[in-house]
Amino acid sequence: MPPHQAERDTVLHSWSVPADWDAPTVVGGAGARFFLDDGRSILDFSSQSECCNLGHQHPEVVAAIKAQADRLCYIANAWGAAPRAELAELLLEKSGFSGGRVFFTLGGADANEHAVKFARLAKGMPRGTIVARERSYHGASYAAMALSGDSRTLAQVDPAQHGVIHALPPYAYRCEFGTDTDESCGMAAAAHIGDIVGGHREVVAVLMEPNAGTNGIVAPDSYWPALRTVTAEHDVLLIADEVMSGFGRCGEWFAWQRSGEAGRPDMMTLAKGLTGAHVPLGAVVLSAGVATQLEHKMIFTGLTYCGHPLACAAGVAAVKAYEAGNLIERSRRLGASMLAALQDMQSRHRVIGDVRGGHGLFAVLELVSDRSTREPLAPWPVTAPALKALVRDGLAAGVSFATRGNLVILAPPLVIEEHDVADALTLLDRLLTTHFPAEPEVLSA
């Protein structure tokens, strides 16, 4: 059977309807491109699931995986393994969590679940409450679904049973607090968390995405430091889910660093860019304060592959590759020019209601049917047929764009060539004209 047909008939794919699955087979990749079995080369403008931050087949990471495979593929977490220790040291150094510890997981969902376990253990409240928020995504295992405020998965789980409360998001374009600036929306959303925490006795932690996320919320700059202040005032832990926003995606190693020390969380969770997605790996980075609380307690948790040496070796090589390629700074620079190009597009396309992000190579376009009323193009989380057609035509023209509901999520690998960014944005501009024609007048928000 040809591979495409075998895959369609035998594999149950995630986030898809089996009967509708019909994706091409990918046989290779290099830099920001991946290659199809029919010989076509596709520019990856979403880094797959916003995870291939180093592009495809980064040579140093591939070499590190091969070298580690020759030495030692697996040893259980109970034993020591050199790449595990080296990666923990590197992560503590990059985040400035000196005296802290790192717990390695298999990906993002279990990193968040473990961060919750550690918060509860540190606070001595094994079933303590966690405040997360609506329009968030923290993974698709059961507890991670409970943490997520995600319309795709919420029906499958009762957050209350997992000790989770959902707060309103810092969604400045549609601010639920009736404010009129981004910054005041961020402050109001942080104060709202303070009200929730103050009103519940057993809250141990607040877990949130500091910046990039698949639900397309990019918090105003005022939000994260205000959230840090509020959580510290109430003596609850702040956990930054940096699974998507980490490793340069938002112009810093970790997005909270945009606020400097005023944004330092008590724990952060990592995955995706941690190995540039070459091998599955996640992590919880614990501050010295939290680590101290756990120092003499039994850690009753772990998965067989936690801290897998192959994955940790890939992680070490990935961190070194971000550093050697100056990729964090590069993401910040290219993100700023991508944002400027998108804002220019907004001035010409009335379908673009809002442009956000751009702190690094991550930006979101929110499409609307009426810019003056901000009427969504389709009710959330539906993707309008015209937007689906735009993505289809983009792929036919050699660029893979990601969408979610009314959002176009732009997140290419940090190694992407500058001319490739420009070409992809020119194509997007043309596709918007084709699929969302509008009168050629100068538009204002």
Positions that interact with ligand PLP (CB under 6 A): 49, 107-109, 112, 137-139, 209, 213-214, 241, 243-244, 271
Residue 330 CB, shortest distance to ligand PLP, in Å, is: 22
Residue 138 CB, shortest distance to ligand PLP, in Å, is: 5
CB-nearest residue to ligand PLP: 108
Residue 371 CB, shortest distance to ligand PLP, in Å, is: 28
Write the CB contacts of 213 (distance below 8 Å, at least 6 apart in sequence). Answer: 136, 137, 241, 244, 245
Nearer to ligand PLP, 270 or 425 (CB): 270
User: Looking at the DSSP assignment, which residues form a beta bridge with residue 36?
Assistant: 26
Question: What is the rounded distance in angstroms from the CA atom of residue 83 to the CA atom of residue 434?
Answer: 50
For tokens 């204002």, what's the residue?
444
Residue 280 CB, shortest distance to ligand PLP, in Å, is: 7
Nearer to ligand PLP, 53 or 214 (CB): 214
For tokens 């673009």, what's the residue?
352
Nearer to ligand PLP, 129 or 215 (CB): 215
Q: Which of 71, 209, 194 is nearest to 132 (CA)?
A: 209
Nearer to ligand PLP, 139 or 293 (CB): 139
Nearer to ligand PLP, 16 or 41 (CB): 16
Residue 98 CB, shortest distance to ligand PLP, in Å, is: 25
Residue 441 CB, shortest distance to ligand PLP, in Å, is: 38
Question: What is the rounded distance in angstroms from the CA atom of residue 315 to the CA atom of residue 92?
Answer: 13
Nearer to ligand PLP, 281 or 425 (CB): 281
Question: What is the rounded distance in angstroms from the CA atom of residue 210 to the CA atom of residue 224?
Answer: 6
Residue 387 CB, shortest distance to ligand PLP, in Å, is: 20
Nearer to ligand PLP, 241 or 354 (CB): 241
Residue 156 CB, shortest distance to ligand PLP, in Å, is: 15
Nearer to ligand PLP, 49 or 292 (CB): 49
